[in-house]
Structures are given as C-alpha cells and as structure tokens.
C-alpha cells in the first residue's frame, strides 16, 4: 500500500540526498516514489491528530512524504497570514505552543511600509523556524475586487502594486529565517462563495494588469519558495491544472523556480495538475499517488513531466530546515514578537477623521467605552487565517494599561453581555467553536437612550467600537455587515447625540478587516480611527495611537465607497440568493449536477480593469474615503516635484516632504501615473510607486525618490498580446491619496516600448 508509511519500503542502499546530487537521486527513484513525493501525506496533521507518528507539528496544515532510503524527510506546512497556526497545546504535554497573532494583511498593507512589514514578518518567520515548520502558507494576496470577499482581511489591497510590494516584503521577511513561504491563492480567487468550483471569467487585460500583477511583483522581487494554486477555475480550467498559468506565465515568463502546491482539496484531474506544473498535491491522498503511477504506466502522463516536478520538489526539500537537521527550540521569543506585532499594528492604523484635533487624547481622561467589540475585540479573522495566540489585549485593557479611567457601568455591561453570549453560543452549538474556524462575531448589544445618557456625566468623552469578523468559506453580506446593523446605527446616533448635547466628544474606532459603509454616519462622531484587526496586541496599539504615543501614518489600501453598489463588481458579486445556493451546493455536494448559477458556478468579471479607485477616479465618482487616504496629527507639504527620463527610458522622480505641523510624524507619498492619450484606454491614474518618510520632526524635510521602468508603465494590449508603453506626455502625481492631484510633474516619453509574453490566455475579451 502506498501512503505515509511508504517510507518504510526497503530497497537497496541508495545515495543520500544532498543539494549536489539531485539528478542522481531522481535517477534512482522508483515511479512509485516519485509519485509519492508529489503528493502530501494526508489530512491527519491538519486535523491535529497527535497520536499518529506522522504528525511532526500538531495542528500544522500538512506535510510532504518522507522517503527514508534517500534521507528525504517529511516537511511541514502551516498557515497562515497573521502568524503560525498550530495547536497551542498537545496531549500529555504541559508546554504550550502559542504563536504571536500579528495584524492581518489589510492592516499591514495600510502601513505602506515595506521595511516595517519585512521586520514584522522576520519575527513571524522565526516562529515558523522555531516551531519546526518549513513553509508558512502565506502571504495571501488576492485582490480586493469587491468589499464582500470573506477573506479580504487576509489579502492586502484593491491595487496590485501595493499588494505586490507588501507581499514581496512579507516574503523577504519570513524567508530571511531560512524557511519558505507559499504565496496564495494563485490566482483570481476573489470570492469565497463556491470557492472550490467557481469559474473566474476574466479578460486577459484585467488578468494581467490586476489579478496577476501582484504575484508577478512578488515572484520577481522576493523569490518565494512556493506558490499555492487556488481552488477555483480560471477560464474554465482549475488553476491548479493550468499549464498556461503554472508553467507558461509563472515559470517561463516570470522565472519562478520554486514549487507550486495546490490549495487544500483533492480534486480529480491530478494527472492534469502534474502535467501543468503543479508539483505538490496538498494535503494529499493515496488515490492521487496511484493516479500518477497509473498515468505514467499507461502513457497518459509523460515521465519527463513527473521528473520535472520531482526535481523541483527535491530542490525545495534540500533548502528546508528539516532536511538540514535544524534543532528547533519550540520556544520562540514571544515577548519580542509581541512588540513587533504592536509596532506594526500602530503603524497600520488609519485616522479617517479628526475634527478640532480631538485626538490625540491625554491618556488621563475618563472614557465611556461603548460597543461590545471593546471587549470582544477582533484580533484577526477566522478560518485558516486564524492564529492560536496566548491572549488578546482588548480595547478595555489597552486603554486601562495606558492610564485611562473607564466608566465601570458600561464596561461591566459589555463584559457581561459578551460572556453571556459566549456561553449561549456554546450551549446552542453542537460542535462548539472550532479551533480552525474561530468564533463568529456576536451582534452588537442594544442600549437604551437611558443607559447611554447615564454615562455622559461620568465621562469626559465616549469611544464607540464597531467590530467585524469574517473568514474562509463565506463571503460577507451587504446588510448588517458592509452596512451597519440597526443596533450599531442607533448606538452611534444615540451616543453622539447625548455627548454632543453635553459638549463632549465622541471617537469611533473601527475594528474591521475590510471596507464598510461610512458615508451615512461619518458626520456624527468627532473622530474616526480605523484600527483594522490589529492582532493580539490590538488594544495597546489602539491606545498608542489614541494618545499620540504613535502618530498615525496608515493609509487605506482600498476605497471606502459611498454605497456598496458603487463598485462595478457589485453587479456580479454573489449576494443573497446565490450565496444561499452556494452554501447549499457546498454542503450537499450538488455542485456538478445543479444548473449553472451565475456568480456561484461562474463569475463574469465584466468590470475588467475598473477595480477600486481605477473606476472611481476615472468616473470622478464621489467616495466616502478614497484609496490611499489617511490623516496624521501633523500636516505635510509636498514641494519640488520633479521627474526625469534617463537614457534607458527609466523615470526618476523626486518630491520633498516637509512636516508643517507641530508634532513628529511619517508621511506616505503615493505616486500615480496618468498616461498620454492615444495609447490604450487607461484609468485616470494608476499607482505605480510609493514610499514612506522617516519620522520627521516639525519643520523637517525629506526628499523621496522613485524609479519607474518602461515595463512598469505598460498596459496590456489584448489584440497584440503584449505589454505596451505608449510614447507621449506622462503626468506623475505625488499624492496623499488617489483623489489628490495637487502636486505633479510631467515627462515626455519619446519612445514607445512593447514587451512580449507567451500565448497563455491570449485574446480573452
Ligand atoms: C485555505 C488555504 C490554507 C489551507 C490550509 C485552505 O482551505 O484556502 O489558504 O492555507 O486551507 O489550511
């Protein structure tokens, strides 16, 4: 029988694998061994079955197979984007194995700070190494095509350049520890509804410019060890079985030299996946091993294709800590990593509103803290993006730690309500909250006007916390999720009315993983701080920003629209009926027999490249907060914008940023490019580069410099099947957000350029 126990098969003495004898080992392997190496060892380790001797790290997502006669060990993969997801406790073991819960993807992208991200993920990568894991199944970097995607919190942005640069930094940080990453989910996995079967139908230009660009940047700039192919189909074919995607684009065009592993689901068509260049099937099953063996024997699969994948696997394995015998400690420095998580969280928060400079607070005020999320604080989302962390500092604790006094009444009420709801949920649920999925967000507690009014005299100001949670397998809803619930609306209305009547201020803190509706209520509070889902140190990090210990410098990585329907993709994103249908199909396995349901079985990306701010800026459509928006406790002025063309056609742009306010702060400068007319139809402007200043003291200046190659300016021409950069006058905007066109410089690109690609996905309109 083939399987995890395969390693026990005894054949004659063989060369032990080293980095230098890969071909020799490959030559010596049997067909069955080769097939086994390309298929993971099963679901067991994912389920945390500790009694099996094959489980090396309890609660990791999966392992590859060992072949002892060549000295090939199993290697371990664990999730996920916000930290290492493993089981925190083990049977018969008094030690704990908690990992640090870092801020989620959306949050770290809001820092627009690649150095910060790299620093944070180098701490994360140390936990990967010290907990005996070889590959972190992360970063997740699908585009925020629509605000309702249930996994947007794990992903970075609606813009591929921001997503790509943050992702590259993330990979560099983790891999600096000598462990791998798995950049996921490749590709066009932008909804959770029927995620395993949905066919993303997208035109070639949008595919190249929006959905693949971030992956391209990551591969070229950071050389990830592995890529995870997604569950969904692209152009009618599972991505994990697409030669176009996995070989022509990923390897032939971009030069990827690691392994591709599937997302966690065994599909039929294993043979097609092998031929396409999908090196590893995860989590793997003996059925898949057998399929590969049979296909080679019958001639359906060429052994050369299998050998190519096995060679990739061997090259990968020799890099892993497990192969190299690293003695992991199971004791990473969680204290130091908590500090890195807190620093990243504070640098990522986005100040959306600050009328009359109500913030920063002194830290000595008495605060009435409204909203159950002040207690039931959301450190991160659910699903495989969840981290089993030792604790979460909620906002009540964070503010108390910082020296604030909290009004007891409302604090106790929220705590009791949350405790009660948790018990209630457990009693009413057959399975109890799962480690994998985490707890669902509980609804806000209704408060009477009387209760609200009773807090006013006892406090100097009010803070209202609004929380959201989502995760794998389900998309968010428009009502009561993107939009506020009626109870939340009443809470904000009631609190602001009562406090403003007494001449006192109200601050709203958003503890969310992606965009929500803000246009209808943002005029009510005096200040709004978007804290995101900031990881386990979240409460302290919020307090750092509210008190001005850290001056906020985050900017939105996605647009906050006036209305959900303003996004063109809202016309073809699953909501309502379709979503229910998808859940039903998933649960009962009707997918293949059910009639085709739009946005469940397939989704037409009719909006093409008009995603996020590309649409809003080009249409001049009002938004609630533009992409790239964020305030500071100080002010910045931009001066001396300039752009020059060098002999190779590269643009070098500079701008000087001066802190014109009264406290030190950092500023993100976003460089948007408007292309000349006459070439392809383009968005009004597109983000091409960005940078963040150092901490500038009041009055201090810094000149930031950006280089752009002709390739980075190019758009994809479907008819010619190539990237093209038109000649003509380009305007570079040095901007505070996507709507800011105040500071610009022009340059004349004299020569047009074009860049060839393979015929993968050629001509899809
Ligand atoms: C998720 C992946 C994850 C894998 C392993 C899948 O369901 O889509 O993101 O890495 O499970 O846990």
Per the CB < 8 A criterion, the answer to whether 76 and 180 are in contact is no
Q: Kindly give the number of the ligand 1 atom that is closest to the alpha carbon of 385.
A: 9
More confident residue, 411 or 14: 411
Is residue 765 scored above 60 in pLDDT?
yes
Rounded CA-CA distance 211/607 in Å is 13
* Ligand 1: residue whose CA is nearest its atom 8: 263
Q: Which residue has the higher pLDDT, 526 or 431?
A: 526
Residue 234 has a pLDDT of 98
Residue 405 has a pLDDT of 98
Element (H, E) at 670: strand 668-674
Task: Mark whether 294 is an active-site residue.
Answer: no
Report pLDDT for 592: 45
Q: CA–CA distance from 753 to each of 492, 536, 710, 712 (Å)?
A: 54, 48, 7, 11
Mean pLDDT of the region 423-428: 76
- For residues 28 and 17, give the distance between their C-alpha atoms in angstroms, rounded to a whole number: 11
Please name the residue whose Cα sits nearest to atom 6 of ligand 1.
264
Q: Measure the CA–CA gap between 649 and 726, rounded to whole angstroms.
A: 12
Would you say residue 431 has pLDDT above 60? Answer: no
Residue 234, beta-bridge partner list:
200, 237
What is residue 589's predicted lDDT score, i.e. its pLDDT? 47
- Give residue-wise pLDDT tens across range 24-43: 999 999 999 999 999 999 87
**327-341: per-residue pLDDT in tens?**
999 999 999 999 999
The model's confidence at residue 570, banded by pLDDT at 50, 70 and 90, is very high
What pLDDT is recorded for position 578? 54
Residue 588 · residue 598 · CB < 8 Å: no
Residues 380-400 have pLDDT tens digits of 999 999 999 999 999 999 999
Expressed in angstroms and rounded, the spacing between residue 61 Cα and the centre of ligand 1 is 8
Which candidate, 170, 171, 112, places its Cα nearest to that of 704? 112
pLDDT tier at 448, thresholds 50, 70, 90: very high
687 forms bridges with which residues in the sheet?
672
Q: How far is the CA of 16 from the centre of ligand 1 (A)?
A: 32
Whole-number percent of the chain with pLDDT over 70: 92
pLDDT at 295 over 50: yes
Q: Please count the CA atoms within 13 angstroms of the CA of 129 that sit on its side-chain side.
A: 23
Ligand 1: which of 57, 60, 137, 260 to mutate, most ligand atoms within 8 Å of CB? 137
Q: Which of 203, 263, 481, 540 is catalytic?
A: 263
Residues in the ligand 1 pocket, defined by CB under 6 Å: 61, 79-80, 137, 184, 263-264, 384, 472
Backbone dihedral angles phi then psi of residue 539, each to the nearest 5 degrees: -60, -45
Per residue in 477-522, pLDDT tens? Answer: 999 999 999 999 999 999 999 999 999 999 999 999 999 999 999 9
Query: Nearest residue CA, atom 4 of ligand 1?
Result: 264
pLDDT digits (tens, 9 = 90+) for 228-252: 999 999 999 999 999 999 999 999 9
Q: What is the pLDDT of residue 423?
A: 85
The runs of H, that is alpha helices, within 481-612 are 486-501, 538-546, 577-588
- What is the rounded distance in angstroms from the CA atom of residue 116 to the CA atom of residue 343? 9
Is residue 42 classed as helix, strand or coil in its secondary structure?
coil
pLDDT at 297: 98
Q: What pLDDT digit, counting tens, does each position of 730-758 carry?
A: 999 999 999 999 999 999 999 999 999 99
pLDDT tens track for 340-392: 999 999 999 999 999 999 999 999 999 999 999 999 999 999 999 999 999 99
Mean pLDDT of the 46-50 span: 50
Check residue 425 and give its pLDDT: 77
pLDDT 10s digits, 571-624: 999 886 555 555 555 544 444 445 577 888 899 999 999 999 999 999 999 999
Span 444-469, average pLDDT: 97
Residue 8 scores a pLDDT above 60: no
Q: What is the DSSP letter of 625?
A: E
Ligand 1 nearest atom to the CA of residue 195, by list position: 8
Those residues whose C-beta lies under 8 Å from the C-beta of residue 176, and which sit 6 or more positions away, are: 118, 122, 125
Expressed in angstroms and rounded, the spacing between residue 266 Cα and the centre of ligand 1 is 12
Tokens found for residue 238 = 């599972």
Distance CA(704)–CA(693), nearest Å, equals 7
Q: Is residue 433 predicted with pLDDT exceeding 60?
A: no
Q: What angle do CA 256, 259, 263 make, to 5 degrees?
A: 115
Under 8 Å between Cβ of 724 and 752: yes
**Looking at residue 430, what is its pLDDT?**
53
- In this prediction, residues 635-645 reach a mean pLDDT of 98
Which residue in this structure is represented by tokens 């990739």?
312
The beta-strand segments (E) located in 1-153 are 62-63, 76-78, 89-90, 93-96, 135-136
For the chain, the C-alpha Rg in angstroms (whole number) is: 26
Alpha carbon 215 to chain centroid, angstroms: 12
Q: Quick one: average pLDDT of 181-198?
A: 95
Query: Which 3-state string (H, E, C) describes 375-426?
Result: CCCCCCCEHHHCCCCCCCCCHHHHHHHCCCEECHHHHHHHHHHHHHHHHHHH
In 445-601, DSSP assigns E strands to 461-467, 505-511, 527-530, 560-561
pLDDT of residue 5: 44
pLDDT at 432: 43
Mean confidence (pLDDT) of the chain: 93
Q: How far, in Å, is the centroid of ligand 1 from the Cα of 264?
A: 6
429 pLDDT band, cuts 50/70/90, is low
Is residue 438 predicted with pLDDT exceeding 60? no
């Amino acid at each position: 029988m083939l399987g995890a126990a395969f390693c026990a098969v005894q054949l004659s003495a063989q060369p032990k694998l080293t980095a230098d004898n890969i071909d020799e080992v490959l030559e010596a392997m049997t067909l069955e061994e080769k097939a086994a190496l390309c298929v993971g060892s099963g679901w067991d380790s994912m389920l945390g079955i500790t009694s099996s001797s094959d489980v090396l790290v309890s609660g990791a997502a999966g392992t590859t197979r060992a072949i002892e006669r060549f000295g090939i060990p199993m290697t371990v993969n664990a999730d996920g984007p916000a930290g290492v997801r493993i089981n925190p406790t083990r049977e018969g073991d008094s030690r704990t194995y908690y990992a640090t819960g870092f801020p989620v993807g959306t949050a770290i992208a809001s820092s627009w700070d690649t150095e910060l991200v790299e620093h944070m993920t180098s701490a994360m990568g140390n936990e990967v190494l010290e907990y005996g894991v070889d590959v972190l199944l992360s970063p997740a970097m699908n585009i925020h095509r629509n605000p309702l995607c249930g996994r947007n919190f794990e992903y970075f942005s609606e813009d591929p350049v921001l997503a790509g640069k943050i992702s590259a930094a993330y990979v560099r940080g983790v891999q600096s520890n000598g462990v791998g990453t798995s950049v996921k989910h490749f590709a066009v996995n932008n909804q959770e509804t029927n995620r395993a079967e949905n066919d993303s139908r997208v035109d070639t230009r949008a595919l190249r410019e929006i959905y693949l660009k971030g992956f391209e940047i990551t591969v070229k700039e950071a050389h990830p060890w592995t890529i995870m192919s997604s569950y969904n189909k692209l152009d009618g074919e599972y991505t994990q079985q697409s030669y176009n995607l996995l070989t022509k684009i990923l390897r032939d065009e971009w030069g990827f030299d690691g392994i591709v592993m599937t997302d966690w689901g065994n599909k039929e068509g294993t043979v097609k996946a092998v031929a396409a260049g999908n090196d590893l099937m995860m989590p793997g099953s003996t059925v898949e091993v057998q399929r590969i063996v049979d296909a080679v024997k019958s001639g359906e699969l060429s052994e050369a294709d299998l050998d190519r994948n096995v060679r990739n696997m061997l090259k990968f394995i020799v890099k892993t800590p497990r192969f190299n015998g690293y003695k992991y400690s199971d004791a990473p420095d969680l204290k130091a990593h908590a500090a890195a998580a807190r620093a990243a969280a504070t640098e990522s928060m986005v100040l959306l509103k600050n009328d009359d400079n109500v913030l920063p607070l002194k830290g000595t005020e008495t605060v009435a803290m409204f909203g159950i999320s002040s207690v039931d604080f959301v450190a991160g989302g659910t699903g495989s993006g969840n981290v089993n962390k030792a604790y979460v500092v909620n906002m009540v604790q964070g503010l108390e730690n910082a020296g604030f006094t909290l009004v007891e009444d409302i604090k106790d009420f929220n705590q009791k309500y949350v405790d009660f709801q948790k018990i209630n949920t457990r009693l009413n649920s057959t399975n109890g909250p799962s480690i994998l999925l985490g707890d669902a967000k509980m609804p806000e507690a209704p408060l009477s006007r009387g209760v609200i009014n009773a807090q006013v005299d006892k406090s100097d100001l009010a803070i209202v916390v609004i929380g959201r949670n989502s995760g794998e397998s389900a998309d968010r809803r428009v009502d009561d999720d993107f939009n506020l619930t009626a109870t939340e609306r009443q809470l904000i209305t009631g609190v602001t009315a009562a406090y403003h009547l007494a001449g006192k201020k109200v601050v709203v803190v958003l503890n969310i993983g992606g965009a929500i509706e803000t246009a209808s209520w943002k005029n009510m509070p005096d200040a709004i701080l978007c804290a995101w889902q900031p990881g386990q140190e979240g409460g302290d990090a919020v307090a750092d920003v509210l008190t001005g210990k850290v001056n906020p410098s985050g900017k939105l990585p996605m647009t906050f629209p006036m209305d959900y329907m303003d996004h063109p993709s809202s016309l073809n994103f699953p909501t309502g009926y379709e979503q229910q249908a998808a859940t039903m199909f998933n649960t009962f396995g009707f997918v293949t027999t059910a009639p085709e349901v739009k946005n469940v079985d397939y989704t037409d990306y009719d909006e093409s490249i008009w995603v996020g701010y590309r649409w809003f800026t080009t249409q001049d459509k009002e938004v609630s907060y533009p992409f790239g928006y964020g305030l500071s406790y100080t002010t910045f002025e931009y001066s001396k914008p300039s752009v020059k063309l060098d002999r190779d056609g590269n643009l070098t742009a500079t701008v000087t940023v001066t802190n014109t306010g009264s406290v030190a702060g950092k500023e993100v400068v976003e460089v948007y490019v408007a292309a000349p007319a006459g070439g392809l139809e383009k968005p009004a402007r597109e983000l091409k580069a960005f940078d963040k200043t150092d901490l500038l003291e009041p009055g201090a200046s810094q000149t930031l410099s950006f280089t752009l190659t002709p390739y980075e300016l190019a758009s994809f021409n479907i008819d010619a099947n190539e990237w093209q950069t038109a000649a003509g006058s380009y305007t570079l905007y040095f901007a505070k957000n996507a709507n800011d066109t105040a500071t610009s410089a022009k340059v004349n690109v004299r020569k047009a350029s074009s860049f060839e690609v393979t015929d993968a996905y050629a001509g899809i309109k």
